Amino acid sequence: MENLEDLKILAEQWSHQGIEYLQKIPPTQLYVAIGVLLLTTILFLLSIRLFRRTKSNTVLLSGLSGSGKTVLFYQLRDGSSHQGTVTSMEPNEGTFILHSEKAKKGKIKPVHLVDVPGHSRLRPKLEEFLPQAAAIVFVVDALEFLPNCRAASEYLYDILTNANVVKKKIPVLLCCNKTDKLTAHTKEFIRKQMEKEIEKLRASRSAISTADIANDFTIGIEGEVFSFSHCYNKVIVAEASGLNGETVQVQDFIREYIKP
Amino acid sequence: MLEQLLIFTRGGLILWTCKEIGNALKGSPIDTLIRSCLLEERSGDVSFNYDAHGAAYTLKWTFHNDLGLVFVAVYQRILHLLYVDDLLSVVKQSFSEIYDPKRMAYDDFDETFRQLRKEAEARAEELRKTKQVVGKPVSSVKKQGQVSKAGLEGGNKKMSEGGSKKDDGDGNKAKVGNLTNGHSNGNHRMEDDSQKTDLANGKENTTDNVALDLSKLQKLRSKGVRGRGGIRKADSIGNKGSKVTAAEPAKKATKKNRVWDDAAPKKEKLDFTDSVDENGSNDHVDIAAADQGESMMDKEEVFSSDSESEDDDEPGSDEKPEAKKKGWFSSVFQSITGKANLERTDLEQPLKALKERLMTKNVAEEIAGKLCESVEASLEGKKLASFTRISSTVQGAMEDALIRILTPTRSIDILRDVHAAKEQRRPYVVVFVGVNGVGKSTNLAKVAYWLLQHKVSVMMAACDTFRSGAVEQLRTHARRLQVPIFEKGYEKDPAVVAKEAIQEATRNGSDVVLVDTAGRMQDNEPLMRALSKLINLNNPDLVLFVGEALVGNEAVDQLSKFNQKLSDLSTSGNTRLIDGILLTKFDTIDDKVGAALSMVYISGAPVMFVGCGQSYPDLKKLNVKAIVKTLLK
Ligand SMILES: Nc1nc2c(ncn2[C@@H]2O[C@H](COP(=O)(O)OP(=O)(O)OP(=O)(O)O)[C@@H](O)[C@H]2O)c(=O)[nH]1
Ligand SMILES: [Mg+2]
């Protein structure tokens, strides 16, 4: 009890001293100090808000060069591939609501779509975007599939074993593109072939751990033939034709993970 | 006639093409241009030749870096259009005025283009006339006159130097000097006669020749096989080149000696070059020694980033003092507001500093120059971001470029390839090639050691039937590693020995055959012919170039000549070039890692292994990020 009284007196003394001290300071300085204090707190709160936005809305389009990512990007954004494309030298990026949703009423959450160039010299770019990805669309050229099967599988393997993808269980859509052409392979065939390739990679890559090719994790189940269902994250197979605008399955996939 | 003019974004969306020209391009020149020139850090070049699908196009391009646009003109090479550079630059200017990132169709540009083209054609015609009328034209006209004369021989540097610099508005003063300078360097795309006259002029020097080789190689890479005329031409140049570089070997020898001394204390460990004698008196070499632990290929490398923090401050100190004085304040101000647009003059200083820095890291001068040109092309006209300095922007762009170059374009997962070959029931064949004394056999043994650790059965083939002692040296390694060795003494043709070795390996079920070949100087015609024969006859899965990490400017010469000779001397239809690089003596070079960059840039082949010591496990993969960091430190 007495202690409390003592404390009270002490506090009063201090507050007196404090006020006296404040009065000694010229008012301009005081205002500046208060201003700075306010500013920092506002900035602090803002930054917290920014970092708190855990729900990312980023979807990555990846895949080998020429698989049709850029066409797909503009299909999803504008509903048209305009006058065609050439090999990308830089990523295409945009935050928008999908073209097909334009007619819909109400507030729709926009998607941040990134088309990462497939040229192998530009691969390191993907790593920059992976940490913020909520979902990945891996585009495969179903027309020219066989000659590219191995390269595509290696690329996909690198993605599936990436630390970000494994830890955050980022879902991957294996999108077999260019199905408008009759000679395009079916998605079943493509899935099987790629699983086979990845099985081989698993054998050779588990042996090497390189400093460069950052295979952070291994995938699949020990002693079993690899299947995409063994992955920690979801791997779904779909078909699309960027050129003809048949992208329903891709849109559904995106909207499953980026709720409107 | 202009075949096509395209405007597209760096993201790859075509914004506008000239519809009235109409006829479709043969093949895919644009994609090829992007893949094998612009993305290979060669955008500083003047033009790109595309030969495929029966087309012989020349492509020229210009960037609008601030808007992220690319303008490409395609025309038939035989036509030597003189107005292309001019046209590109006016098109760039007018298009950038109407460009809006939200707009995707620019049909209204058709009319503008028609006008611009007419004007450009008229200007070119005008110039041609004035050239004919006036004997000695003045200043800029003179420049153009020269251009049209030399330009007739094909797209060349001078031309666009005139053209592209013009629109900068930075005057003509510097250009005359530049022209004469560029003369010896920029002629590499001209045809026979002009090359010869140029050589006769005595203007050439070693780097010049390298420049020739370089561009030729590049052409070769995109083209695959070359015609007969090309071979003749290359030969004549090759000979000239050999004369010029004749003085080199002496220099090289001394250099090597010095290195030997450095490495002397450790040397005896793996090098059996001298210690062997035929009678097997070294039978006692203890086999157990072969188990020296895990190959470093498999170890995660921890890269010590020594002085990362000072990275950003450094460029300043490299700049000239007066540049520094010019205003700390204004530079701070600029960095906050974000400066208007980067101009060529802004980039000069930092790029020069950067080039010098690269050269102190032992990057070949030529390549450092080319890289800087490419970075310059990608930055010119770009807006400087807020809170950044020019030097750090340049450094960032260079870093991106370096990472792009060093990132392998093809898989370097040898084990995967070995397994694939195994499925086809054939051995995977690796041929080790290189100049003398770089450590081919030693590193072959290291690769064998690494493969053995991954349960791959290995056979060595001693195809160095040239240097005495070579077979014994390899035998010693084979004994220590307990792998079979195929040898036929010194009499035989190495190509035949290799063939028999591969047959033997197929019989006894070896997974991999490692073929050791004689070291040879790149100018040694008979030996190069023998190597070409070996490679053509056996069609190996991997031609691995073994090179010293110590080489500087010479790296360019070695690799380009090797590749060139291999293609010139190839007999079969499909030319085999170097597929991969093994860098040796990486432990002796400290931070002078430039050879890795030079070699990769020149050959386009990835560094697959790095030899970094004297024992079997001392074999690593190249850590691209670490190398880039070291190069820019
Ligand atoms: N038939 C058909 N062709 C397509 C389709 N989608 C894309 N293409 C063609 O494929 C080529 C490459 O398409 P891009 O979108 O530029 O390829 P990309 O994946 O962006 O390639 P990079 O930018 O190099 O990574 C173009 O010529 C397209 O016309 C499709 O659905 N069907
Ligand atoms: Mg693209």
Straight-line distance from the first to the last Cα atom of chain B, in angstroms, rounded to the nearest whole number? 48
Residues B435 and B465 grouped into a single domain: yes
Q: Which of B367, B383, B406 is the last residue of a domain?
A: B406
Please name the helix (run of DSSP H) or strand (run of DSSP E) that holds residue B58, with its range, or none.
Answer: strand B55-64
What was the pLDDT predicted at B292?
A: 67
Asked if residue B465 is part of any domain, the answer here is yes
Ramachandran category for residue B13: left, alpha or beta (phi over 0 → left; psi -120 to 50 → alpha): beta
DSSP B385: P
Phi, psi angles (nearest 5°) of residue B580: -155, 165
Between positions 3 and 62 of A, the ones with CB within 8 A of B are none
B2-9/B48-52 β-pairing:
unpaired
Name A10's Cβ contacts closer than 8 Å, sequence gap at least 6.
Answer: none
Residues B399 and B495 grouped into a single domain: no
Among A25-34, B65-74, B332-341, which stretch is predicted with the lowest mean pLDDT? Answer: B332-341
Asked if the model's pLDDT at residue B14 lies above 90, the reply is: yes
Per the structure, the complete domain to which residue A42 belongs is given by 2-51
Among B68-82, B340-354, B369-383, B518-532, which stretch is predicted with the lowest mean pLDDT? Answer: B340-354
Task: List the structure tokens of B572.
Answer: 């079969």
Residues B470 and B365 grouped into a single domain: no
Asked if residue B295 is part of any domain, the answer here is no
Asked if residue B523 is part of any domain, the answer here is yes
Between B138 and B513, the higher pLDDT residue: B513
Torsion of CA A44, A47, A48, A54, to 10 degrees: 180
- Among A160, A167, A148, which Cα is nearest to A68's? A148
Q: Give the pLDDT mean for B376-402.
A: 85
User: How far apart, in whole angstroms, are the C-alpha atoms of residue B262 and residue B260?
Assistant: 5
Residue whose entry in the numeric block shows the structure tokens 């709720």: A259
* Test the A interface: residue of B5, B13, B33, B452 with most A CBs within 10 Å: B13
- Categorize the per-residue pLDDT at B144 as very low, low, confident or very high, splitting at 50, 70 and 90: very low
Q: Which residue of B has its CA nearest to A121?
A: B404
Q: Tell me if B301 and A211 make a contact (CB, 8 A cut-off).
A: yes
Q: Is A119 on the interface with B (CB under 8 A)?
A: yes
Q: Tell me if A211 and B16 make a contact (CB, 8 A cut-off).
A: no
Burial B582-594 (b: 16+ CB within 10 A, else e): bbbbbbebeebbb
**Edge-to-edge order in the sheet of strand A111-115:** A92-96, A111-115, A58-63, A133-141, A172-177, A235-239
Torsion of CA B273, B274, B276, B279, to 10 degrees: 130
The domain that contains B366 carries what CATH number? Answer: 1.20.120
The domain that contains B531 carries what CATH number? Answer: 3.40.50.300
Query: What percent of chain B lies above the pLDDT cut of 70?
Result: 66
Per-residue CA distances from A84 to A71, A72, B103, B424 (Å) = 7, 11, 15, 40
- CA A86 to ligand 1 center in whole angstroms: 8
CB A69 within 8 Å of CB A115:
yes
Residues A34 and A122 grouped into a single domain: no
**Edge-to-edge order in the sheet of strand B48-52:** B14-17, B2-9, B69-76, B55-64, B48-52
User: How far apart, in whole angstroms, are the C-alpha atoms of residue B18 and residue B118?
Assistant: 14
Q: Give the pLDDT mean for B96-104.
A: 90
Task: List the structure tokens of B442.
Answer: 């030693």
Residue among A65, A88, A205 whose CB faces B413 most closely: A205
Rounded to the nearest 5 percent, the helix, strand and coil shares of chain B are 55, 10, 35
Residues B452 and B575 grouped into a single domain: yes
Residues B394 and B461 grouped into a single domain: no
Between B324 and B608, the higher pLDDT residue: B608
Residues B352 and B461 grouped into a single domain: no
Domain tally, chain B: 2
Q: Which residues of A touch B9 (CB under 8 A)?
A: 92
CB A208 within 8 Å of CB A214:
no
Between A94 and B312, the higher pLDDT residue: A94
CB B516 within 8 Å of CB B460:
yes
Q: Give the pLDDT mean for B245-257.
A: 43
Per-residue pLDDT of chain A (260 residues; tens, 9 = 90+): 556 677 777 778 887 777 777 677 777 777 877 888 888 887 777 766 665 555 789 999 999 999 999 999 999 999 998 999 999 999 999 999 999 888 888 888 899 999 999 998 898 889 899 999 999 999 999 999 999 999 999 999 999 999 899 999 999 999 999 999 999 999 999 999 999 999 988 877 765 444 334 456 778 887 888 999 999 899 999 999 999 999 999 999 999 998 87
CA angle B444, B558, B487 (to 5 degrees): 30
Phi, psi angles (nearest 5°) of residue B50: -120, 115
CA of A252, closest CA in chain B: separation in Å? 25
Q: At what angle do helices B594-603 and B365-379 cross, to 10 degrees?
A: 70
CA angle B334, B338, B344 (to 5 degrees): 80
- Categorize the per-residue pLDDT at B464 as very low, low, confident or very high, splitting at 50, 70 and 90: confident
Q: Which residue of B has its CA nearest to A203?
A: B416
What was the pLDDT predicted at A170?
A: 94
Asked if residue B229 is part of any domain, the answer here is no
Q: Which of B406, B437, B458 is the last residue of a domain?
A: B406
Residues A33 and A114 grouped into a single domain: no
Q: What is the pLDDT of residues B538-574, one digit of tens each?
A: 999 999 999 988 888 888 888 888 888 888 877 766 7
Burial B385-417 (b: 16+ CB within 10 A, else e): eeeebbbbbbbebbbbbbbbbbbbbebbbbbbb
Q: Which residues of A touch B6 (CB under 8 A)?
A: 86
What was the pLDDT predicted at B620?
A: 86
Using a 10 angstrom Cβ sphere, with 0-12 exposed, 13-18 middle and 19 or more buried, the burial of residue A51 is exposed
What was the pLDDT predicted at A27?
A: 72
Residues A23 and A133 grouped into a single domain: no
Residues A96 and A214 grouped into a single domain: yes
Residues B354 and B418 grouped into a single domain: no
What was the pLDDT predicted at B573?
A: 67
Residues B560 and B479 grouped into a single domain: yes
Q: Give the pLDDT mean for B309-337.
A: 46
Asked if the model's pLDDT at residue B309 lies above 70, the reply is: no
Asked if residue B452 is part of any domain, the answer here is yes
Residues A26 and A70 grouped into a single domain: no
What was the pLDDT predicted at B272?
A: 56
Residues A62 and A28 grouped into a single domain: no
Pocket residue to mutate for ligand 1, from A60, A62, A70, most atoms within 8 A of Cβ: A70
- CA A85 to ligand 2 center in whole angstroms: 7
Residue whose entry in the numeric block shows the structure tokens 């190509």: B495
- Categorize the per-residue pLDDT at B331 as very low, low, confident or very high, splitting at 50, 70 and 90: low
Domain tally, chain A: 2
CB B429 within 8 Å of CB B411:
no
- CA B84 to ligand 1 center in whole angstroms: 29
Count of other CB atoms within 10 angstroms of residue A109: 12
What was the pLDDT predicted at B129?
A: 82
**HEC-encoded secondary structure of B10-25:** CCCEEEEECCCCCCCC
User: How far apart, in whole angstroms, are the C-alpha atoms of residue B373 and residue B437?
Assistant: 34
Q: Give the pLDDT mean for B10-34.
A: 86
What was the pLDDT predicted at B338?
A: 52
Q: What is the pLDDT of residues B179-218, one digit of tens each?
A: 333 333 333 333 333 343 343 343 334 444 444 444 444 5
What was the pLDDT predicted at B556?
A: 83
Residues A218 and A95 grouped into a single domain: yes
Residues B396 and B487 grouped into a single domain: no
Residues B610 and B593 grouped into a single domain: yes
What integer best gives the mean pLDDT of chain B?
A: 74
Q: Tell me if A200 and B416 make a contact (CB, 8 A cut-off).
A: yes
CA angle B19, B22, B27 (to 5 degrees): 115
- Categorize the per-residue pLDDT at B178 as very low, low, confident or very high, splitting at 50, 70 and 90: very low
User: How far apart, in whole angstroms, are the C-alpha atoms of residue B84 and residue A179?
Assistant: 40
> How many Å is the Cα radius of gyration of chain A?
27
B512-517/B458-463 β-pairing:
parallel
The domain that contains A224 carries what CATH number? Answer: 3.40.50.300
Asked if the model's pLDDT at residue B57 lies above 70, the reply is: yes
- Partners of B14 in the beta sheet? B8
- Among A17, A22, A48, A43, which Cα is nearest to A33's? A22
Per-residue CA distances from B126 to A23, B80, B481 (Å) = 82, 16, 75
User: How far apart, in whole angstroms, are the C-alpha atoms of residue A89 and residue A95?
Assistant: 20
CB B603 within 8 Å of CB B559:
yes
| Ligand 1 atom with minimal separation from the A61 CA | 19
Residues A46 and A62 grouped into a single domain: no
Residues A42 and A63 grouped into a single domain: no
Q: Give the pLDDT mean for B146-172.
A: 38
Asked if residue B238 is part of any domain, the answer here is no
User: How far apart, in whole angstroms, are the C-alpha atoms of residue B26 and residue B55?
Assistant: 6
3-state secondary structure of A175: strand
Task: List the structure tokens of B196.
Answer: 């010869």
Residue among B12, B17, B419 whose CB faces A204 most closely: B419
Residue among A82, A123, A213 whose CB faces B14 most closely: A82
- Categorize the per-residue pLDDT at B415 as very low, low, confident or very high, splitting at 50, 70 and 90: confident
Task: List the structure tokens of B47.
Answer: 């033009």
Per the structure, the complete domain to which residue B383 belongs is given by 314-406
Asked if the model's pLDDT at residue B337 lies above 90, the reply is: no
Q: Tell me if B298 and A204 make a contact (CB, 8 A cut-off).
A: no
What was the pLDDT predicted at A75?
A: 93
Q: Which of B390, B406, B422 is the last residue of a domain?
A: B406
Using a 10 angstrom Cβ sphere, with 0-12 exposed, 13-18 middle and 19 or more buried, the burial of residue A82 is middle
Asked if the model's pLDDT at residue B273 lies above 70, the reply is: no
Residue whose entry in the numeric block shows the structure tokens 């926009």: A110
Residue among B13, B413, B624 whose CB faces A204 most closely: B413
